[in-house]
Amino acid sequence: MQIFVARLPGTPVFDPAGDQIGRVRDVVVGLRIARRPNVHGLVVEVQPRRRVFLPLTRVRRIEAGSVVFGGRLNMRRFEQRPTETLVVGEMLDLQVYVDDEPMTVYDVAMEEIKPSAWEITKVAVYKGRRREPRIVDWNEASGFDKLQKDQGAAGLIAAFESMRAADMASALHELPSKRRLEIAHALNDDRLADILEELPPDDQIGILGTLKPERAADVLEEMGPDDAADLLHDLPEEQAAELLALMEPGEAAPVRRLLTYPETSAGGVMTSEPVILPPSATVAEALAHIRQQDLPPAIAAQVYVSRPPTETPTGTYLGVSHFQRLLREPPSTMLGAVLDPSIDPIRPDFTLREVTYYLANYNLVAAPVVDELGRLVGAVTVDDVLDHLLPEDWRERADHDE
């Protein structure tokens, strides 16, 4: 059986009982002189964002859409050995030579030579801008053992294309710094913004600092204002001011407002772009707004109602309509008639501790933030609070805790 490796990332992994325990993220191989690489196993990501090693000797079968293993899975964090190579993370996009011509690797195939013994047997390459595809035997390609200054990123991005932003951020975090930057630079602004929102602060600063200021400003514009403000808080004051000046005024304005609040206050962690509608809007209109695919679940859980203007800071804040209530009402009902009178808004100067108690007390996933003039200035979501309550290195701790 022959399997092309670039198709494996994201494949669900199931234990002997049929329960999904994670997803494939990479394939580990050992390069050998004058011989085809042998496949050691799979890198599997389990929750919470921990990468573990699954030896191929324990894999019972690899099918379209699933990997099934037998025995027990060692939950110790995967650590790559000096003699090992990651196919997706390190081989894709390499320049190799076939018949003395430079080619770019976009996939490799592994094959079961005997039970539980796999080797890399084929290399899928393309040449030039036309990307004329070609599949050759492993021994026909040379150059896998050489370090390259500019490896490229198209193949790895294609392999990770279906990943959620959080999963791709986790994958990027595990890559060597040089490779991480190659991928980041090759992503479009929107995708890079989504991934930056999920990366630890050190990675965010490292990537943003290698971009030209104009592009860094474009990426910040694609981020949520609260995430952009958090990132700018971590930058040197002069660099943050430069990037704000390069952003479009309309995009920079909400970020500037958020930067005026202390980082650990409701105003400092809120999003300035919740779903806001006037009281004359109907339930049908509200449901259409929260149905948008790009809205995070915590934001889509409620609609805030205010007098015009309905962009923060709004006109007079009137109240909130919860998603469940909207589902129970006739579509033609006006939002002004379905407000929840029991939810009082919070102030921008609430501390994180006060916000946490508020959300827990009312069993909410989000809360309206209203200023002293009665205007809605944003909403605090439970994920915003968690991001700031957890230690800055919580992602690394999740990876390293045994």
| Non-local CB neighbours of 169 within 8 Å, separated by 6+ positions | 195, 196, 198, 199
Number of domains in the chain: 3
The pLDDT, as a whole number, for residue 78 is 93
Task: Give the angle 374-376-381 at the CA atoms, nearest 5°.
Answer: 135
The answer to whether 44 touches 9, Cβ cutoff 8 Å, is no
Residues 136 and 226 in one domain: no
pLDDT below 70 — which residues of the chain? 147-149, 391-402
Beta-strand ranges (E) seen in 228-365 are 276-277, 302-306, 317-322
142, 175, 208 - which closes a domain: 142
Using alpha carbons, list the distances in angstroms from residue 79 to 23, 116, 340.
17, 22, 51
Q: Is residue 168 part of a domain?
A: no
Residues 66 and 32 in one domain: yes
* Cα dihedral sign, 99-101-104-106: negative
Residues 249 and 295 in one domain: no
Using alpha carbons, list the distances in angstroms from residue 185 to 109, 212, 280, 337, 343.
27, 10, 45, 49, 44
Q: Is the pTM of this model over 0.85?
A: no
Residues 32 and 96 in one domain: yes
Q: Is residue 21 part of a domain?
A: yes
Q: Is residue 376 part of a domain?
A: yes
Q: Supply 6's token pair.
A: 């670039």
Residues 109 and 26 in one domain: yes
Residues 252 and 329 in one domain: no
Helix pair angle (189-196, 201-208), 10° resolution: 150
Q: Indicate the SS3 state at residue 248.
A: coil
Q: Is residue 210 part of a domain?
A: yes
The pLDDT, as a whole number, for residue 171 is 86
Residues 132 and 69 in one domain: yes
Q: What is the pLDDT of residues 40-69, one digit of tens each?
A: 999 999 987 789 999 999 999 998 789 999
The pLDDT, as a whole number, for residue 149 is 67
Q: Is residue 180 part of a domain?
A: no
Domain that holds residue 96: 2-142
The pLDDT, as a whole number, for residue 48 is 76
